[in-house]
Amino acid sequence: MSAIKIENLSKVFGDFKALDDLSFEVSENCVFGFLGPNGAGKTTTIRMLVGLSRPTSGRIFIDGEEVVFGKTMVNNKFGYLPEQPAFYGWMTGEEYLSFIADLFLIKDKETEIKRVLTLVKLTDAKSRRIAGYSNGMKQRLGIAQALINKPKVLILDEPVSALDPIGRKEVLEILLDLKKDHTIFLSTHILSDVDRICDDVAILDHGKLITVAKLSELKNEYAAPVLEIEFDEDPKGVAEELRKEKWVQKVEQQGEIIRVWLKDEAVIDKNLPLKAVSKFNYGIVHYGMLQLQTEDLFMNLVGEDK
């Protein structure tokens, strides 16, 4: 069974379509990155996932149970960390968790509070007032409250976006630790976070799903060595010929430019691509490797011109 299943989910605010017919599934015990630029619709989706906002259309299932708007406070299906969590600064970390545990009708409060404090490495700070916590500590406390009901799925809206590199690393390490017992669904607009911890990703832009894939597959496709060849005229027939070569993964042509995704960069040393295209007698204006980084993967899929 999928940890999360989203079916044809849409959300309209007035005449603005914030989310357009989203469908995908999240498998169990994976870290799933929900990636998209500012305003893509990540928070809109997450608020519907946790029952805080009513879908205009579509259905959501978490661990097989349908999410019903407004009816999700007391269950053990998911824990939720909002985008900008608010705390009572005058409470200590421990008092805050006790307050949340009461909302969830947790029975053995003391044990559970101890458990979550250990998971997020806040045991030493439990008796300090939250007002004196760093942003990273507040975010870890936010994760602790999301864990109090032992949820199957952790839903985190930009858990590290506001943190400095150290705070970010601490939180990401905690999330990796939590992966063995939970499915983690996290939104972010920062690709390097995804790079560090995610198994699968969905990319959202302007309310539309652009792709859902294993991160490793996306990287293979978009971070593979790419050769770019520019000809002095439209090189008719060349792309078709290159596609037949066994060292070629994919070929794309835009006017005079051909891009060849290579299975292995070593073919360049053997001059195989050059030999293959020189048969055609077109003039070559430029011939060289494109350095596609994982950041480009995101930019390719979510270009500003889209």
Ligand X SMILES: Nc1ncnc2c1ncn2[C@@H]1O[C@H](COP(=O)(O)OP(=O)(O)OP(=O)(O)O)[C@@H](O)[C@H]1O
Give the nearer residue to ligand X in terms of CB position, either 40 or 248. Answer: 40
Give the nearer residue to ligand X in terms of CB position, either 44 or 183. Answer: 44
Q: Hey, what's the torsion of the CAs at 126, 130, 134, 140, to 10 degrees? A: 60
Which does residue 25 bind out of Mg ion, ligand X, none, counting CB within 5 to 8 angstroms by kind?
A: none
Residues 6+ positions from 256 with CB-CB distance below 8 Å: 230, 231, 232, 233, 234, 235, 285
SS3 of residue 62 by DSSP:
strand
SS3 of residue 5 by DSSP:
strand
Instruction: Kindly provide the residue ranges of all beta strands, DSSP E only, lying in 115-199, ordered along the sequence.
Output: 153-157, 183-188
Which does residue 41 bind out of Mg ion, ligand X, none, counting CB within 5 to 8 angstroms by kind?
A: ligand X
Residues 6+ positions from 23 with CB-CB distance below 8 Å: 6, 7, 8, 9, 58, 209
Which does residue 38 bind out of Mg ion, ligand X, none, counting CB within 5 to 8 angstroms by kind?
A: ligand X
CB of 145 to ligand X, least distance (A): 20
Say which DSSP state 213 is in: E
User: What is 282-297 written as a DSSP string?
Assistant: PPEEEEEEE---HHHH
Give the nearer residue to ligand X in terms of CB position, either 38 or 281. Answer: 38
Give the nearer residue to ligand X in terms of CB position, either 14 or 124. Answer: 14
Which does residue 13 bind out of Mg ion, ligand X, none, counting CB within 5 to 8 angstroms by kind?
A: ligand X
CB of 193 to ligand X, least distance (A): 13
Which does residue 95 bind out of ligand X, Mg ion, none, counting CB within 5 to 8 angstroms by kind?
A: none
CB of 24 to ligand X, least distance (A): 16
Phi, psi of 96 (to 5 degrees): -60, -45
CB of 224 to ligand X, least distance (A): 28
106: nearest Cα among 151, 41, 58: 151
> Under the rule (CB under 6 A), what is the footprint of ligand X?
13, 16, 18, 36, 38-44, 83, 189
CB of 41 to Mg ion, least distance (A): 8
Give the nearer residue to Mg ion in terms of CB position, either 83 or 195. Answer: 83
Instruction: Give the containing element (helix H, strand E) for 253.
Output: strand 248-254
CB of 85 to ligand X, least distance (A): 14
Give the nearer residue to Mg ion in terms of CB position, either 101 or 204. Answer: 204
CA–CA distance, 204 with 21 (Å, rounded to integer): 11
Q: Which residue is closest to Mg ion by CB?
A: 43
Which does residue 18 bind out of ligand X, Mg ion, none, counting CB within 5 to 8 angstroms by kind?
A: ligand X
CB of 91 to Mg ion, least distance (A): 26
Give the nearer residue to ligand X in terms of CB position, either 139 or 149. Answer: 139
How many Cα atoms are found within 13 Å in the side-chain-facing hemisphere of 31? 23
